[in-house]
Amino acid sequence: MGQAIADGIAAADDLQLAGTWRRGDDLDLLLANSDVLVDFSLPEATDAVIAAAAEAGIPVVCGVSGLSEAQVASLEQAAATIPVVYDRNMSLGVAVLEKLVRQAAAALPGFAVEVHETHHVHKIDAPSGTALKLGEAIAAARGTNPADIHYKSERRGEVPGDHQIVLSSATETLTLAHSVTTRQVFADGALVAARWVSDQPPGLFTMHDVLE
């Protein structure tokens, strides 16, 4: 993702890459020359990244998946002093899909729901963070437990990410779907969020906030 973000910045007239960080580098020095920090690292590094950004007063866009509840709580704590956009999927299309899923789940309370997701064989976590995000949207719309959502996960080839929400009754089926053709879509969404978050007050935001 780092290279995809760098490519997106290079193609933009209004953005400049201040630098990249790897564990062992001087993160404080990088932040001293930055307006926004975009984090697509690993959960193991996120605590240090967010703490440094909060200390420096730098807005954050975090697209790291697989964060623990404690790490999400740390994001919320940091958001008391800096603006933070955190989302498990930075795709603009997925943000719209989540909104549609909420509407459909609420409008069709008697329909059974399944969340299907397909990713490349290298992806370890299942269901994907995006699938869980969509399942949580369904549960919130219906006032039910997210743990009751049924997921189907498949790992094959080099699929960047396909998600389907299938709502069905005895007489009809409604399918809402989103497919990714390249991982650049996540970098592009993160850069949209970076532009937006730079002018925001402290708070924890999602891609919904960015679009709306």
Residues with catalytic function: 119, 123
User: In which residue are the tokens 């592009």 written?
Assistant: 188
Identify residue 36 by its one-letter amino acid code: V
